[in-house]
Structure 1
Amino acid sequence: MTDEPTASHVVLTGGTGYIGRAVLAHLLTSGHRVTAIVRSQASAQVVDEAGATPLVGDLFDSAWLAEQLRGADALVHTAAGSDADDARLNDAVIAAALEAFAGTEKPFVHTGGIWTYGANSAITEDSPADPPAITAWRVAGEEKVLTSGLRASVVRPGIVYGHGGGIAAMALVGAPRDAEGRRVLVGSGEQHWTTVHVEDLADLYVRVLEQAPGGQAYLGVAGASPTVRELGEALGPVVAGSGLEAVERFGAPFAEALLLDQQAVGNRGAELGWTPSHPTLVELLAAGYPADR
């Protein structure tokens, strides 16, 4: 593990996304110069106003991306495709990074996800993969990153919340109501979700970028794994839903993931000095899930 940050010019994908916006802000605050690859002039304006240098380009073009990376010091990949394109996008970005950074010590931080572990009440970084269909494609790419021999790492976020956004806004705050005005839970509500505030998660990305030796995955979880019922009740009266209702609301692949019972504790982040400090999701929901927290 390096003692001092080695990256100065960081290429960031997904800089206008929920996670990527927070990562961009933390990179800039930490003194890094950021080139944010975006897909449109509108997105270019967003990252420019945030303090990054925008670069409009096609992440599916692996050869083009590799050429951009050769002139940079590091890559942080937080971008997502759109449904069926996710796997192809990640394959292209991984291929570009491994080609451009071969034979160097340049860090590459790739994004995974907690759902890849499947239903598990004691998830650690070393737990086996057991992904639902929606994330099964992640496993091969992450293995390629971690076994590349490069200074490449994977961050696997839990269910990300904060600033009034994320799954919490859609599945909890915006949940349908029954005839008595009670929010309908995702399934029975007895399943646990393992969670992380987006600002704490962004801090982990920067620490992994600056310090991680490569070849390891890091759980982006804050240690709080409330049940969906506890989360819903923080907002007010609730009623149990069902698996069928969840499928009708979210579609089968997404519903399967939201119904997973997961509890997790990340160990490796602490080795980098990562100490999540933001309010829990239960606390923020009880406060009305404000956009400024």
Structure 2
Amino acid sequence: MHVVLTGATGLIGSAVVPHLVEQGHRVTALVRSEEAAAKAQASGATPAVIDFDSATAIAEAFRPGDAVIHLAAAGDDAEAFDRRVAEAAVGALGGTGKPYVHTGGVWVYGSGDDLTEATPYDAPAITAWRLGVIESLEAEDLALTVLHPGIVYGDGGAGIPQILAGQPRTGDGKLTTLGSGVQHWTTIHVDDLAALYAAVVTSGTGQGAVLGVSGTNPTVAELSAVLAGDAGVEAEDPSATESRLGSGFAEALLLDQQATGAKARGIGGWTPTKPSLAEELSRS
């Protein structure tokens, strides 16, 4: 299979590309610069530098693929960028039956102790923009999967979990949690997530919404305790978290989410096998 992919050099893409290549698939990595092209090529992909400001250019790059995975993000331009990519996907893949995998995020479901793909969206402000993009894709004739990763970890400690280790210490050395710490996080190792992307795209069809989670949902206090060691942890007032990290980001980090990822386990025999986030943090 020829898979065209954006975001090949990011945390997730850097795991997805070699996973697909090892399975014998041909991967074209769409990138913004020659520097990114070199990184993508080193991971086994064939790089193509394109103009991501043009939906037409993106569509032309998508068209030769048997399937497309969109993983790239664009900082302050996130919504406009995602809308351009969605427009390109519709133009290049609409009506063809070729699988298109769009990346969302589990935060769009809000808090819940048993989240599934059927749970109504309740996105915090920082990710609410995703809903319009998803709705626009769902309205088209696409073999669509919207994969919603949980908190991604792995690859030497990269990703959101590193924020926990950077939390302030109290005068007696205790590590403060993010907010009260009672909130659960859905989690997924980046290598397990890469395997899920591969299972989805090679299924040859659209899977609809898919929660990319391992089924292990630790509390933030539990994770912080691993990092704190003998010093222990102390809850932080949520207002202090918001003041330091910004209200939008803090609102998302303070969501209390749990999910089993049952649907994902029904796709191509996918099963998470990597160490839990707590185990990963204990080795750091």
Structure 1 gap segments, 5+ residues each: 1-7, 289-293
2:275 maps to 1:282: no
Contact in 1 for aligned 2:98/2:204 (Cα 8 Å): no
Structure 2 CA distance for aligned equivalents of residues 107 and 213 of structure 1: 5
Q: Secondary structure at the match of 1:142?
A: helix
Structure 1 CA distance for aligned equivalents of residues 44 and 138 of structure 2: 31
Match of 1:228 in 2: 220
Match of 2:80 in 1: 88
1:27-106 pair list within 5 angstroms: 27-83=20-76, 85-106=77-98
Match of 1:242 in 2: 237
Post-superposition CA distance 1:216-250 (Å, at most 9, x none): 11110000111100000011221111212111221
Report the more deviating stretch, 175-184 or 193-202.
175-184
Match of 1:117 in 2: 109
Structure 1 CA distance for aligned equivalents of residues 45 and 204 of structure 2: 23
Provide the aligned length of Structure 1 versus Structure 2: 279
Match of 1:199 in 2: 191
Match of 1:180 in 2: 172
Contact in 2 for aligned 1:118/1:130 (Cα 8 Å): yes
Please report how far the alpha carbon of residue 104 of structure 1 lies from its aligned counterpart in structure 2 after TM superposition.
0.9
Structure 1 CA distance for aligned equivalents of residues 10 and 68 of structure 2: 16
Structure 2 CA distance for aligned equivalents of residues 205 and 156 of structure 1: 11
Please report how far the alpha carbon of residue 87 of structure 1 lies from its aligned counterpart in structure 2 after TM superposition.
0.6
Structure 2 CA distance for aligned equivalents of residues 50 and 213 of structure 1: 26
Equivalent residue for 2:125, pick from 107, 117, 133: 133
Please report how far the alpha carbon of residue 174 of structure 1 lies from its aligned counterpart in structure 2 after TM superposition.
2.1
Q: Secondary structure at the match of 2:153?
A: strand
Equivalent residue for 1:257, pick from 252, 270, 273: 252
Structure 1 CA distance for aligned equivalents of residues 75 and 54 of structure 2: 16
Please report how far the alpha carbon of residue 215 of structure 1 lies from its aligned counterpart in structure 2 after TM superposition.
5.3
Structure 1 CA distance for aligned equivalents of residues 222 and 80 of structure 2: 37
Q: Secondary structure at the match of 2:12?
A: helix
Match of 2:138 in 1: 146
Please report how far the alpha carbon of residue 269 of structure 1 lies from its aligned counterpart in structure 2 after TM superposition.
1.1
Post-superposition CA distance 1:106-145 (Å, at most 9, x none): 1110001000001111101110000000000111211222
Structure 1 CA distance for aligned equivalents of residues 138 and 210 of structure 2: 11
Structure 2 CA distance for aligned equivalents of residues 160 and 203 of structure 1: 13
Report the more deviating stretch, 214-223 or 123-132.
214-223
2:149 maps to 1:157: yes
TM-score by length of 2: 0.95
Match of 1:19 in 2: 12
Please report how far the alpha carbon of residue 212 of structure 1 lies from its aligned counterpart in structure 2 after TM superposition.
5.5
Report the more deviating stretch, 74-83 or 176-185.
176-185
TM-score by length of 1: 0.92
Q: Secondary structure at the match of 1:279?
A: coil
Structure 2 CA distance for aligned equivalents of residues 182 and 55 of structure 1: 48
CA RMSD of aligned residues (A): 1.2
Match of 2:262 in 1: 267
Q: Secondary structure at the match of 1:231?
A: helix
Contact in 1 for aligned 2:98/2:205 (Cα 8 Å): no
Post-superposition CA distance 1:132-187 (Å, at most 9, x none): 00000111211222342321111000011112111111x11222222222222100
Which amino acid letter does the alignment assign opposite residue 238 of structure 1? Answer: V
